[in-house]
Amino acid sequence: MKRKIAAIFAADIAGYSRLVAEDEEETLRRLASYRSVIDDFIAKANGRIFNTAGDAVLAEFPSAVDAVRCAIDIQESLRTRNMAYPPSRQMSFRIGITIGDVVERDGDLLGDGVNIAARLEGLAEVGGICISRAVHEQVANKLSVQFADIGAQEVKNIPTPVHAYMVAMRREDGTYARPQLKKTIKAAPAPNWMWPLVVGVVSVVAIGVGGFLYFTKLETAQVTSSPATSTAAAPAPGSLTAPSPSPTPTMAAKAPSPVPTSTPTQAAAATPTPMSSPPAASTGKIAVDAVPFIGERQRAFLSNEYAAAGDYKAYALNIGGFFGSALNKPTEEEARNAALDQCQKRADAAQSQRRCELYAVGNKVIYGHGEPPMPPKPWYRHDAITERAFVPKDFPMLRDQFKTRLENIYMTAAKSRTIALGPGGQYFMGLGGTTVDDSARRALESCGAIAGAACMIVAVDDVFVVPIPTLLRVTGFFHAATNPSIVADARDEVVRKLGDGTGWNAVAVGIAGRPGLGLKAADEQTAVNTALADCARHDSDCHVIAIGPFAVGPMN
């Protein structure tokens, strides 16, 4: 036997017994396919599988960094594969990782390190990763990953609590989901001698409070809650989830995962901020055209069935496009709860990271986030000079795994479909719309709510509808009016000359910030050459800073 220190990786399928019971042959076939993916990632990360049992995989890695990076790659790859199946048939793994002293015997590894990794796997969320504190200390400053400290955890057959962390999994737009925090171990009970003291203190306080309430009874009896408080405040998302859920991002009022279809496609979120207070509820009918994130079919439902229903009704939605409704309920509270529950079940079934909120109770709009930021119309235009076939690998500002998602989901979806892109690399697919404009609106609204800024339609059906640079790397959106590379007194002129943006356009600047423009060119190279030549007439050391609607920089 040989002892060594190793990073131990344990993976297991969530709900494997149920999947086998429902369809054994199909489950075993898919397990073999998924195991092939896992085995490949482990081998590429210099890992070694030392034990398997049914749906479980145990592997060792020479470093914690390799183990965590491999686990993230596995989860993101399997999540993409799962999108091809209904929620009830998706096969998701939990993964646990620790560093420990283990004993090697005949190629197998034994010891507490293996046992702790298995227990951490049990703590992980479905499709998530849980690591020990020792692993966190090794990877925290080496990987661009966020973590949630879930504290010391009591786990089976391990005598001392294990301090653990959840890995925040990356969403489609490059941001990170916030893991749901597990409860930490309970504090030791108070000594028995303290109970008489506690009872005495509570009694004194109760007497004082009772006297206070007696003398203030007449005053408090006259105080009533305002209608906005009693009917307009939506239940907190936390009432629907495990402890410490992520709050919903606040949208700027009237400015700044799964898409709203029968099988919505969810996208990702910007850093969450506390929810703002709902505005005062209006007493008129819902302005159906102002309801965000939903498609034309749901607008028709709100105009007809919902509008005609009795008093106790409610409508809930989330920014991923999921919705729920409750009509003709016995009480307002039942209508609220039923609408939220229906919406959240739909979102959870598609593994949406977004919490549902009440949009309306009766005919009163109580949604407190205002309208998502939207660009001016037209939202897209077709230009024969710059338009070309949509190719996922050419999509700007996205990591490779998200481009794979576009290939697996967007490319196989039926028309009409669109993709909106945010200035920070956020994106949202508008699928299943009745028209292209319907899909574009939904994609822009959800993307804008996620990004906190207006997004841009980049693709419509099978074509890119904006110029996609190939000579330089896209770094973000280009806004001439505020671009610091351009000298201030020349920005308005650049904005004016760019005009409607048809054809290929490029902007270059020199060392003094004087711009040069290449406008309405027939191809990208001509636009770049013209911009550089124009800049060189009144500046030096010129370089291109924009092509089409994008800011650009040197290729990596």
**Tell me: the pLDDT tens digits for 302-355?**
999 999 998 799 999 998 888 999 999 999 999 999 999 999 888 887 777 788
The CATH number of whichever domain residue 51 belongs to comes to: 3.30.70.1230
| 281 plus 139 within the same structural domain | no
pLDDT of residue 469: 96
pLDDT bracket for residue 204 (50, 70, 90) = very low
CB 389 within 8 Å of CB 411: no
Q: What range does the domain containing 71 cover?
A: 2-167
| 251 plus 163 within the same structural domain | no
In a domain, 307, yes or no: yes
Please choose, from the candidates 511, 519, 518, the residue with its C-alpha nearest in 3D space to the C-alpha of residue 533.
Answer: 518
Please choose, from the candidates 375, 353, 350, the residue with its C-alpha nearest in 3D space to the C-alpha of residue 448.
Answer: 375
| 144 plus 278 within the same structural domain | no
In a domain, 32, yes or no: yes
Q: Which residue has the higher pLDDT, 499 or 183?
A: 499
Asked if residue 186 has pLDDT above 70, the reply is no
CB 520 within 8 Å of CB 505: yes
In a domain, 142, yes or no: yes
Task: Write down the mean pLDDT value for the chain.
Answer: 80
| 134 plus 264 within the same structural domain | no
| 154 plus 6 within the same structural domain | yes
| 358 plus 480 within the same structural domain | no
**Number of domains forming the structure of the chain:** 3
**Integer Rg of the chain from CA:** 28
Please state the pTM of the whole predicted model: 0.52
For residue 521, the one-letter residue type is A
| 144 plus 260 within the same structural domain | no
Q: 432-446, pLDDT tens digit by residue?
A: 788 999 999 999 999
Which residues are registered as beta bridge partners of 132?
164
In a domain, 9, yes or no: yes
What is the C-alpha to C-alpha distance for residues 116 and 121, in angstroms, rounded to an integer?
9
Phi, psi (5° rounding) for residue 100?
A: -155, 165
In a domain, 218, yes or no: no
CB 364 within 8 Å of CB 284: no
Domain boundary (338, 365, 392) is at 365
Residues 264-292, buried b or exposed e (16+ Cβ, 10 A)? bbbbbbbeeeebeebeebeeeebebeebb
Domain boundary (365, 385, 419) is at 365
Question: For the packed helices 24-44 and 64-82, what is the interaxial angle rounded to 10 degrees?
Answer: 140
Asked if residue 198 has pLDDT above 50, the reply is no
Asked if residue 246 has pLDDT above 50, the reply is no
| 116 plus 24 within the same structural domain | yes
What is the C-alpha to C-alpha distance for residues 233 and 281, in angstroms, rounded to an integer?
10
pLDDT of residue 365: 93
CB 516 within 8 Å of CB 532: yes
Domain boundary (121, 146, 167) is at 167
In a domain, 428, yes or no: no
pLDDT of residue 76: 87
| 252 plus 154 within the same structural domain | no
* CA atoms within 13 Å, Cβ hemisphere of 278: 22
In a domain, 75, yes or no: yes
What is the C-alpha to C-alpha distance for residues 94 and 72, in angstroms, rounded to an integer?
11
- Residue 301: count other Cβ atoms within 10 Å of its Cβ: 16
In a domain, 177, yes or no: no
Residue 163 neighbours by CB under 8 Å, 6+ apart: 132, 133, 151, 152, 153
| 270 plus 145 within the same structural domain | no
Q: Which two tokens stand for residue 110?
A: 């034994």
Q: Return the minimum-mean-pLDDT range out of 208-217, 399-408, 500-509.
A: 208-217
User: Which three-class secondary structure state does DSSP give residue 31?
Assistant: helix
Q: Compute the Cα dihedral for 210, 214, 217, 220 and give only its sign.
A: negative
